[in-house]
Amino acid sequence: MEVAFTEKDFYAEHFVPKDYLENYYSFSPGKDGANALLRFSLDNLHQAFGAGGIKGDTLIDIGTGPTIYQFLSACESFREIIATDYTDQNREELQRWLKGDLDAFDWTPVVKYVCELEGDREKWAEKENKVRRAIRQVLKCDVTQPDPLAPQVVPPADCLLSFYCVESAAKDLPTYRSALKNISSLVKPGGHLVFHTILEDTFYMVGPHPFSCLYLRQKDVEEAVKEAGFAIQWLKETRVDFPFSVTDAKGACTVVAQKIHS
């Protein structure tokens, strides 16, 4: 499918959080590709933030979307989490879950999976409360800007987290590299980046609408992370298998890196 670059205004008008969540995060029967990819992400987050992993005071998540899965392991290691996203509707959907609204997306199966990784599946309600306490701010973010959180002023964080964001916001490889440099300004020298991206992908569906994705190979991601001032500590890649009606993605990778200069 040939998909033109999805501009910011199209996201603001047509990206429906509930459709996105149901498609990719529901752990539903018959969605083997999405379920396997979600487990891959959760396993890597558990490795990054679990025993002996990354810890600190403040974590900034870039491109949170309407999701909370990326905080389930991190909330054990960070006192304060700052969530960010470009679109109003994603930030509003996140706030619905934080407030415990009855119409918010049900993350229970995902939370239970992470609790099982940690050794106690039954602590899922306690885990949800811990995430809610940890998320102190939900801010607007634009990774194409030199200061992605402007006009908000946020001190550099101990860790920067970003899943499925930059490859959607960048129309080409130079923009992708520039966006990684932009977000790197938000983390302290010596701080960490936990970065996840889809590979060999040109589009993904949300409801009836296709959204563009920058086609990336693993080496493109590695080079961009290094160029942004990070030393890669570990990287995991997986192949993915989605119906073409959902996305043409072929893989995904998670990178954990440390910032080596400002």
Binding residues for S-adenosyl-L-methionine: 20, 25, 69, 85, 90, 142-143
Interior CA angle at 67 toward 61 and 69, to 5°?
A: 80
Helices (H), the chain: 8-14, 17-24, 32-49, 88-99, 108-117, 124-134, 166-169, 173-184, 218-227
* Beta-carbon contacts of residue 129 (< 8 Å; ≥ 6 apart): none
**Whole-angstrom Cα distance, residue 173 to residue 110?**
33
Tell me, letter by letter, the H, E, C secondary structure of 7-60.
CHHHHHHHCCHHHHHHHHCCCCCCCHHHHHHHHHHHHHHHHHHCCCCCCEEEEE
**Whole-angstrom Cα distance, residue 180 to residue 229?**
9
56: phi then psi, degrees, rounded to nearest 5: 170, -170
Known binding-site positions: 20, 25, 69, 85, 90, 142-143
Under a CB-based contact definition with an 8 Å cutoff, are residues 225 and 156 in contact? no
Q: Per this entry, what is the length of the chain?
A: 262
Under a CB-based contact definition with an 8 Å cutoff, are residues 228 and 185 in contact? no
> CA 80 from chain center: how many Å?
17
151: phi then psi, degrees, rounded to nearest 5: -85, 0
* Beta-carbon contacts of residue 39 (< 8 Å; ≥ 6 apart): 113
